[in-house]
Structure 1
């Protein structure tokens, strides 16, 4: 069920029984799958088989350079990408991807935005951006708990997952371990500070993007 958002796009509220509700959420999140997902944009992007990008808030400087190179490679290929794009490195990657032409799915760790950020307006109008939220409209403030739930939501929707960096012992590393346990393809950047991810089962992202 949907109504017209201020952008002129239809804002959909997808309940779990809705045919457009992503089956991947039930498959990977089980009983913790959100009962309702708010979607603004083209729901056909659910079928774009997006890859997810994650990075810990603190990231070694040399990995930041590799991350921007990766984002440029994905943008050049028109790859479909999904993420929360909240941490500094994730945000830098989003800026690069927005300048490309590939499909993007952005999932804020709060209820659906009421005012569309300026950088989202053109790709939303062009039909290559989908905004998703698994949270109630009353959730207006980002918290660590909402961010963690959002990241699991993003990972469940993704066909493949890239962890640019996951600090040892942190929530991002715990998510990587969970996603590897799901059996999804997980990748990371070749770097000594990503040894924990490689030891956990992550593959070299070069095998995915050919760099």
Structure 2
């Protein structure tokens, strides 16, 4: 599939990247799919690798509702819960932006991505250049901040205490992003940061 190179002055280049990443803003981002999706309001999702069962159930219900409400969802979809969220979203028609923690020039496109890409509802987006073709912890961190910068709002179903996901949450709250989580005893660490409590409601972001 063809790769589109979106430079700093391209009208498709997200202005939010320029606003939030400052000196770290990528001069070019690489895309496979429909770049018009970048004009949509977006909701990012991040989650720790391990997650309590009650939060998993709440998250799946929430994502199924998002799937029916045509809200664009962005993320790396790397942790087990995030991967299952992507599987749920792929059964719907709402736009999705996938941000891998590597370059996309030599990346194999999964067969389940090809139809939504062809239909204009799926975008693979990366800030990494050709030689960054392997996933690493550092690139995963950079990818998460890249996706968070683009997003209008962020949902973190669960972040383990002391985790990188908790740190990500704290940083973007300080930058003024709207960040939500579920009202649960498991999320006391996030709620103590000042995170608003997300109510599972279909039209929350309409």
TM-score (norm 1): 0.91
Q: What is the CA-CA distance between 1:115 and the residue it aligns to?
A: 2.4
Q: 1:159 to 1:208 in 2, by over 3 A?
A: farther
User: Is 1:40 paired with 2:40?
Assistant: no
Bigger mean CA deviation after superposition, 118-127 or 12-21: 12-21
- 5 Å matches for 1:1-211? 5=1, 10-112=2-104, 113-206=106-199, 209=202
User: Quick one: distance in 1 between partners of 2:13 and 2:130?
Assistant: 18
Q: 1:76 to 1:52 in 2, by over 3 A?
A: same
Q: What is the root-mean-square deviation in Å for CA atoms of aligned residues? A: 1.5
User: Quick one: distance in 1 between partners of 2:26 and 2:201?
Assistant: 30
**Per the alignment, in what secondary structure is the counterpart of residue 111 of structure 1?**
coil
User: Quick one: distance in 2 between partners of 1:145 and 1:114?
Assistant: 18
**Per the alignment, in what secondary structure is the counterpart of residue 127 of structure 1?**
coil
Q: What is the CA-CA distance between 1:23 and the residue it aligns to?
A: 1.1
Deviations 1:85-121 (A, max 9, x none): 0000000100000001101100000001532101101
Q: Which is helix-richer, 1 or 2?
A: 1
Q: What is the CA-CA distance between 1:17 and the residue it aligns to?
A: 2.8
The structure whose RCO (Cα within 8 Å, separation 6+) is larger is 2
Q: What is the CA-CA distance between 1:208 and the residue it aligns to?
A: 6.0
Which ranges of structure 2 fall in alignment gaps of 5 or more residues? none
**Per the alignment, in what secondary structure is the counterpart of residue 37 of structure 1?**
strand
TM-score (norm 2): 0.94
Which ranges of structure 1 fall in alignment gaps of 5 or more residues? none
User: Quick one: distance in 2 between partners of 1:149 and 1:204?
Assistant: 26
Residues matched between the structures, number: 203
